[in-house]
Structure formats: C-alpha cells, structure tokens
C-alpha cells in the first residue's frame, strides 16, 4: 500500500479524511513511530502500562496459552501477554505499519519473556487460520480501523471457540469534566505537537469524540459473534476494557 501522506480535516465532532482512513492512519503511525512509546508515557502519566496489565489479568491469561495481539504497534500488549503465558505459551503480534513494529523491536528483544512473533497484517483481513488463539487482544487500535465490525469479526474468527476477545480502548465518555476536556483538546495536542506531529495528537481526541461509547462498542462486539461481554471502565470513563468470548453460532447468525 502506498505510504501517501494525507491530512485529516477536522470538524467539531468527526474526523474526515482526505483519502482513505487506512492511508491516513498508516502514514500517521509511520511518522510518529520513533516517539510513540515516549509520548504514551508522558501523555497518560504511564497509566497505559497499568491498563494493559489489568486487561491481561481480567482476561485470565494463563501459562501455556496461545495469544494474538492485533494493531500491536510497538508490541507493549504482546509483551504483557508473553509474560503471562510464560515459556510454555506462544504470542504473536500483527500490525499494518512496519515502522511501528520496528520501533518496538528493541523492547521486544530486551524483555525477559518467551519470543513474540511479529507479522505485518491488516486487522480486517488477519493472516491467521481460524480458531487458533486462546486470547486475542487489541489495545488502542480498534478506534483506528476502517470498519470496527470487520476487525472484531476477524478477531473472533481467529480465536478458538470460547476463546477470549479483549478490547482496550478510549471510548466516548458520557459527561466529561471541563478538566478532562482541557487535557484532551488543548494540553494533549500541544504536548504532542511539541514532541511529535501535532495533527496526530489532534486526531486522538477527535477520534475519541467520534468513536462509539462503551455500550455501542459492546453491541458491535455482540454483532460480531462475541458474547458474555464484561466492561471495566477506567480513567473517568475515557478508557474501557471490554472482554467477551467467541460464540460461533452467534457469528454465523449475524453473518447471514
């Protein structure tokens, strides 16, 4: 796919793309990749690390399991999974932006855990066989895909029947306080612009605003063949962990 740089035109409640969203997202992450981890630490006061660990714990990831992290970026979620599955387990990560994978390679190699196999691939057409993984995770990635339901269906397809699907994501909060609004719409783009690419850090709050809320996300998961969904709300409702299990019958019913 061409790495054409496209700009996001902003309106108050939505993000419009001059070109496809996929092209915009790929080009944007390719550009911010070298500073992605640093900015995550600064902008979330390192809380993003705790959120992924909590998601792994809530999903009950255990020794010997086989896991996949999609939209893996620099691989932070994959590393947490690898620690939980131990040397008996297996972890794969996939992302469609090679510079993000490359930016995370040092961390992946330095960490003391089982090796993680990284693959370049689109979450909407995953390059994995059906029914392989005990747990499939996505961290701060589902908001960025072109079609959320295609991505969720693919995540469910590659999970074993009864396997877990974990979505850690910023969700559109209900009734945000003025302080959080100021942080999201002023401080975050300002700091992002100072250290990286400003429009990328404008995109984050705008994409949150136009993204689904936690109820809508749970409903989309259900319609993608995932059930028994539980939701943990964090950080004043701006971040949520949705966990569900693959249900083949539901998947077939909705795909008819």
Ligand X SMILES: C[S@@+](CC[C@H](N)C(=O)[O-])C[C@H]1O[C@@H](n2cnc3c(N)ncnc32)[C@H](O)[C@@H]1O
Residues of this chain that interact with ligand X (CB under 6 A) are: 25, 29, 71-73, 76-77, 95-97, 100, 122-124, 139-141, 144-145
Neighbours of 114 (CB within 10 A): 15
CA 27/CA 7 separation, integer angstroms: 10
CB of 65 to ligand X, least distance (A): 19
Closer residue to ligand X, CB minimum distance, 76 or 135: 76
Q: What's the closest the beta carbon of residue 104 comes to ligand X, in angstroms?
A: 9
Q: Quick one: 77 or 247, whose CB is closer to ligand X?
A: 77
Closer Cβ to ligand X, 72 or 251, answer by number? 72
CA distance 56 to 223: 23
Using CA atoms, how far residue 15 sits from 21, 40, 178, in Å, is 9, 21, 22
**Minimum distance from residue 178 beta carbon to ligand X (Å):** 26
| Residue 168: both structure tokens together | 């850690």
Instruction: Identify which of residues 72 and 247 has a Cβ nearer to ligand X in the complex.
Output: 72
Indicate the residue among 25 and 247 with the shorter CB distance to ligand X: 25
Taking each helix axis from N to C end, the angle separating 148-158 and 214-222, rounded to the nearest 10 degrees, works out to 50
Shortest distance in whole angstroms from residue 52 CB to ligand X: 6
Which residue lies nearer to ligand X by CB, 152 or 247? 152
Q: From the CB of 175, what's the least distance to ligand X, in Å?
A: 25
Which candidate, 208, 141, 212, 214, places its Cα nearest to that of 180? Answer: 208
Sheet of 66-70: strands edge to edge? 116-120, 90-95, 66-70, 133-139, 159-170, 239-246, 226-234
Which residue's CB comes closest to ligand X?
73
DSSP state of 185: I
Tokens of 81: 């999974």
We find the least distance from the C-beta atom of residue 28 to ligand X, in angstroms, to be: 8
Neighbour tally for 54: CB within 10 Å: 15
Element (H, E) at 246: strand 239-246
Tell me the closest approach of the beta carbon of residue 253 to ligand X, in angstroms: 25
Compare residues 31 and 95 and give the one whose CB is closer to ligand X.
95
Tokens for 1? Answer: 């796919």
């Amino acid at each position: 796919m061409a790495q054409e740089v496209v700009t996001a035109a902003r309106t108050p409640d939505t993000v419009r793309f001059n070109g496809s969203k996929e092209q915009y997202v790929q080009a944007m992450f390719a550009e911010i990749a070298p500073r992605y981890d640093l900015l995550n630490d600064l902008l979330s006061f390192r809380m993003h690390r705790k959120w992924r660990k909590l998601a792994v714990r809530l999903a009950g990831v255990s020794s010997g399991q086989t896991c996949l992290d999609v939209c893996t970026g620099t691989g932070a979620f994959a590393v947490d999974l690898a620690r939980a599955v131990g040397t008996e387990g297996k972890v794969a990560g996939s992302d469609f932006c090679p510079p993000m994978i490359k930016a995370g390679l040092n961390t992946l190699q330095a960490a003391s855990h089982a090796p993680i196999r990284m693959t370049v691939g689109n979450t909407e057409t995953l390059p994995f066989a059906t029914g392989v993984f005990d747990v499939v995770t996505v961290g701060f990635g589902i908001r960025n895909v072109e079609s959320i339901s295609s991505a969720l269906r693919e995540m469910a397809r590659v999970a074993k029947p009864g396997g877990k699907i974990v979505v850690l994501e910023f969700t559109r909060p209900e009734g945000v306080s003025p302080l959080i609004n100021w942080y999201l719409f002023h401080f975050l783009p300002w700091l992002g612009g100072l250290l990286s690419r400003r429009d990328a850090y404008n995109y984050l709050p705008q994409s949150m605003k136009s993204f689904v809320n936690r109820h809508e996300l749970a409903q989309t998961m259900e319609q993608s063949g995932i059930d028994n969904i539980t939701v943990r709300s964090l950080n004043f409702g701006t971040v949520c962990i949705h966990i569900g299990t693959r249900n083949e019958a539901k998947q077939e019913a909705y795909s008819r």
